[in-house]
Amino acid sequence: MRAQYVSLAMNLVIGLSFFLYGMKLLGDGLQKAAGDSLRRILQALTNSPVRGVLVGLAVTGIIQSSSATTVMVVGFVNAGLMTLSQAMGVIFGANIGTTITAQIIVFKLNDVIWAFIFVGVLMEFFVKRRTTKAVGQAILGFGLLFFGLYFMSDALSPLKTNQAFIDFLVRFGRLPVLGILAGAIFTGIVQSSSVTTSLVVALSLQGVITLPSAISLVLGANIGTTVTAGLASIGANVASRRTALTHFLFNSLGVVLIFPFLGPFTRLVAMTSSYLPRQVANAHTIFNVTMTCVALLLIKPFERLVRWLLPSRGSEEETKVVQYIDERVLVTPTLALSQATNELFRMGHITYEMVDSCRLALFENKVGLLDEVLGREDLVNAMQREITEYLTKITEHDLSEAQSARVMALMHAVNDIERVGDHATNLVELIQIKDDKRLKFNAGTQQDLKEEFDHVLKTLEEAMNALKDYDVERAHRVKEMEDRCDVMTKECMSRNIARLNAHEVDPQVGVVVVDLFTNLERISDHSDNIADVVLGVY
């Protein structure tokens, strides 16, 4: 008897290993095939909770893991990329998205799984195009996932005649608390509700589990899966800890709310299908969809509850050099690239403000802003190092051709943005020379500089917006604006030389003006380079 249990356990581990590896291949393959689509899905996130639910559902459906989605969300909130209310919607959606796995695995595909594996292997090893290889990887993962499921199901078949095990499961039906507790503990250990659900489906395929017992285990899995986000929030800021608490409360309170109605709920699920494995999957889906609808109706009080349970401390402020990039999402290159782009946009906004502060100091006598510009130069340099290091780490993962090109493009862009900061510090030095020597600009020179500053700032802003959205139309507009800047610079320089020749300005003023125009024109050049990155010319 003992040897039988050892053999069963070993076969179960083997089947589970195939299932987990298949699920990983499927998720990774879908991510690579989706490419920038996943980034665009995330960027579609707004303050609308319903839209957040759709985003969470879509992302979890692609990566096949609600735990991974919630860990990403914790990282995003920690970096300031999402607010708590936005994160709530995504978490609700992730709980629905994870039920897709259960719905897929209950299809009777045991006669065709070898075809999936065979086709997947052929595409994975004999196709050169990366996107097609990614599709092949997903197909191979799909086949291995089902192979693991059926292997587990066959391994569990001896339990159909094991009275002790049957009695054990019957207790779960009579005492649902035990089933919920067992499901939560097991899921907390393996950190995947999909694994628990797949085991329950495997048991149901062999007919060794009743629907009430299965529902108890699935409900427990919903609680256990929150452990992953909780671990990810350790050491993070209060906002990300609130996100992890949201996940725990949402899943746990859902189980508490449904618990008094388990009888009617079980009867409702039984009506959805005559096939037990499908009933198990439907129970998982119906529960999560229902709880999400309830949570959406009560999202404001729910958010207030979370904030009340985890109040922020006044001293707890974000002091990181970078706010949007998080190494915890490096395993998902599409999301990592999205974070890097957001961080680059933030860096570009800082350099824009540095140039704008120089304009205010020069024309509105706000010389106190110059020290801030010099201080921000250190921040920009630090951001360049952090972002470049992050982009380098992304390259250590398996990337599609488009993703590899995107990394290289962003590396070029980060250097151009840093150079804008350098030119802003040059402007500071020139403005300080003007003030120290009490140099005066005449009306014509001042007007030329104002127009040049305004045009350069608009060009830089347009370039950064083009980079953020990868907007080709805006990038072309930047190219046109830069051409106009070149013409403006030549005209202004010619007028400055004419004033010098006519002795209308002091020669020292003329030198400072030339250097001001030169630095402004170079800032426009770097904006043009950023546009080239969007256009794929670098």
Q: Which two tokens stand for residue 223?
A: 């609680």
Cα–Cα distances (Å) from 404 to 57, 200, 452, 537, in that order, read 27, 40, 37, 15
HSE, CB side, 13 Å, CA atoms: give it for residue 469. Answer: 11
* Residue-wise burial string across 393-407, b where 16 or more C-beta atoms lie within 10 A, e elsewhere: ebeeeebbeebeebb
Closest CA to 359 of 349, 350, 370: 370
Q: Which two tokens stand for residue 356?
A: 């704008």
For residue 151, the model assigns a pLDDT of 76
First to last CA, the chain: 69
**8 A C-beta contact, residue 167 and residue 120:** no
pLDDT (tens, 9 = 90+) of the chain, 538 residues, equals: 566 667 777 877 787 788 778 767 776 776 666 655 555 555 455 557 788 888 888 777 766 667 667 766 776 676 555 677 778 888 888 888 888 777 776 776 666 777 888 888 888 788 777 778 888 887 888 788 778 766 776 766 665 556 666 566 556 656 888 888 888 888 877 667 777 787 788 778 777 788 888 898 889 888 988 887 777 677 666 777 888 888 899 989 999 999 999 889 999 999 998 888 899 889 989 999 999 999 888 888 988 898 888 886 644 444 457 777 877 778 788 888 888 888 999 999 999 999 999 999 988 888 888 888 887 888 898 899 889 999 999 998 888 888 888 899 999 999 999 999 999 999 999 998 888 888 888 888 889 889 999 999 999 999 999 988 888 999 999 999 999 988 988 888 888 788 877 777 778 877 888 899 999 999 999 999 999 988 887 6
For residue 149, the model assigns a pLDDT of 66
For residue 143, the model assigns a pLDDT of 80
What does the alpha-carbon distance between residue 229 and residue 338 come to, in Å, rounded to a whole number?
21
For the chain, the helix, strand and coil percentages under 3-state DSSP, each to the nearest 5: 85, 0, 15
For the chain, which domains are there? Answer: 9-157+167-309 (no CATH), 330-535 (1.20.58.220)
Closest CA to 201 of 273, 106, 113, 98: 106
DSSP for 129-156, please give it: SHHHHHHHHHHHHHHHHHHHHHHHHHHH
Phi, psi at 401, each rounded to 5°:
-60, -40
pTM for the model stands at 0.54
Q: Which two tokens stand for residue 525?
A: 């050049």
For residue 315, the model assigns a pLDDT of 40
Cα–Cα distances (Å) from 8 to 22, 159, 386, 484, in that order, read 21, 9, 50, 75
Q: Which residues contact 494 (CB under 8 A, 6 or more apart)?
A: none
Closest CA to 349 of 299, 315, 383: 383
For residue 113, the model assigns a pLDDT of 75
CA 35, chain centre distance (Å): 13
